[in-house]
Amino acid sequence: MSTFTLQPHKVPVTLSEGLTEEEVTNFKPFKTWLQTLTRSLALQTADENHPFHSDPYALHSINVQSHDRFGRRIGFLKLSASVVNSAGERLPGAVFLRGPSVAMLVMLVPDDVGPDSAERYVVMTVQPRIPSGSLSMVELPAGMVDDGTFVGAAAKEIEEELGLEIKEGDLKCLSEMASPVAEQGEGGADGGLPLAMYPSPGGCDEHITIYAHERRVPRSQLEEWGGKITGLRDKGERITLKLVPMRDLWREGSRDAKCLAAVALWEGLRREGKL
């Protein structure tokens, strides 16, 4: 293992075997996590009403315990951050870094119903998810954001997983539409977190931005979608599509955090007349 000092923070970073300083400092999820944490820590002293103002916490060290690669590049990092105040009180610092992702609520409306009809179907994916121990997890289409924009990643994932080409301008960002931070234009006491949903903030940096798209299609096309197999085989994907009535989505997707979040955002925005 090797160690370097992170500048300008003057924080020692210990690396797992096979990692270099350049790889870690250039790993975008690491940079984003560090920037967000640094802003949040700075708020302790800047705001006299902050609950930790009298004895602020500080980042003392980072221990990168392990990593996974996607080819040559880093895919995931597991690290432990030491965040301690002057009294020696520590905040839990086990962190799994994988970066942001997007989820898509794609709704299909039969073209033989009226404009006020509540009949619509959501396209779900059924696929193996080894971390959850399942070979048939039912969930909203989703994908990681590597390079480019979030909306671009969403459009790309829809085409790859659903075989449906959608222009970026036809996607609505439910996360942004529902965020009070976006309306107020403020960073808030959270250090300016992204406008997204955090499914497991106690252990992982992943934040999911949720998009929605609705289109009218022939009813015959709906019947063709059920059971269709898609996905990129060279990435190990084997995806079966499933159409779920919107009214049943909360139940069908009850094990999928991003699905439940999408349902809540969609229903809340509709109640407020924003959709």
**What pLDDT was estimated at residue 169?**
87
Tell me, yes or no, whether 240 and 117 share the same domain: yes
Tell me, yes or no, whether 177 and 256 share the same domain: yes
Q: How confident is the model at residue 235 (pLDDT cuts 50, 70, 90)?
A: low
Tell me, yes or no, whether 118 and 217 share the same domain: yes
Domain ends where: 69, 97, 125?
A: 97
> Would you say residue 159 has pLDDT above 80?
no
Interatomic CA distance for residues 216 and 200, integer angstroms: 35
Tell me, yes or no, whether 92 and 106 share the same domain: no
Cβ(128)–Cβ(135) under 8 Å? yes
For residue 211, the tally of other CB atoms under 10 A from its CB is: 28
Domain hosting residue 231, numbered range:
101-271
**What pLDDT was estimated at residue 184?**
46
For residue 103, the tally of other CB atoms under 10 A from its CB is: 27
**For residue 131, how far is the Cα from the chain centroid?**
16
> Would you say residue 210 has pLDDT above 70?
yes
Total domains present in the chain: 2
Q: How confident is the model at residue 240 (pLDDT cuts 50, 70, 90)?
A: confident
Interatomic CA distance for residues 198 and 206, integer angstroms: 6
> Would you say residue 183 has pLDDT above 90?
no
Tell me, yes or no, whether 82 and 132 share the same domain: no
Q: What is the mean pLDDT of the chain?
A: 88
> Would you say residue 158 has pLDDT above 90?
no
**What pLDDT was estimated at residue 256?**
96
Q: Give the 3-state DSSP-derived string for 119-182, with helices as H, strands as E and coil as C.
A: CCEEEEEEEEEHHHCEEEEEECCEEECCCCCHHHHHHHHHHHHHCCCCCHHHCEEHHHHHCHHH
Q: Are strands 90-91 and 94-97 parallel, antiparallel or unpaired?
A: unpaired
Tell me, yes or no, whether 88 and 7 share the same domain: yes
Interatomic CA distance for residues 149 and 168, integer angstroms: 10
Percent of the chain at pLDDT exceeding 70: 90
Tell me, yes or no, whether 44 and 123 share the same domain: no
Tell me, yes or no, whether 209 and 230 share the same domain: yes
Q: Give the least confident one: 68-72, 216-220, 235-239.
A: 235-239
DSSP annotation string for 52-105: TTTS--EEEEEEEEEEEEETTEEEEEEEEEEEE-TT--EE--EEEE---EEEEE
Using CA atoms in the order 274, 139, 114, 221, what is the torsion angle rounded to 10 degrees? 140
Strand, coil or helix: what is 256? coil
Cβ(27)–Cβ(35) under 8 Å? no
Interatomic CA distance for residues 206 and 266, integer angstroms: 21
Tell me, yes or no, whether 260 and 170 share the same domain: yes
Tell me, yes or no, whether 112 and 90 share the same domain: no
**Dmax over Cα atoms in the chain, in whole Å?**
67
Q: Is 77 exposed, middle or buried (0-12, 13-18, 19+ CB in 10 A)?
A: buried
Tell me, yes or no, whether 238 and 118 share the same domain: yes
**What pLDDT was estimated at residue 156?**
79
User: pTM score, two decimals?
Assistant: 0.87
Q: Give the least confident one: 67-76, 164-173, 176-185, 266-275.
A: 176-185
Q: Are strands 101-110 and 208-217 parallel, antiparallel or unpaired?
A: parallel
- Give the CATH number, domain containing residue 155: 3.90.79.10
Domain ends where: 55, 71, 97?
A: 97
Cis omega (within 30 of 0) on the bond before 8?
A: yes
Tell me, yes or no, whether 139 and 93 share the same domain: no
Q: How confident is the model at residue 91 (pLDDT cuts 50, 70, 90)?
A: very high
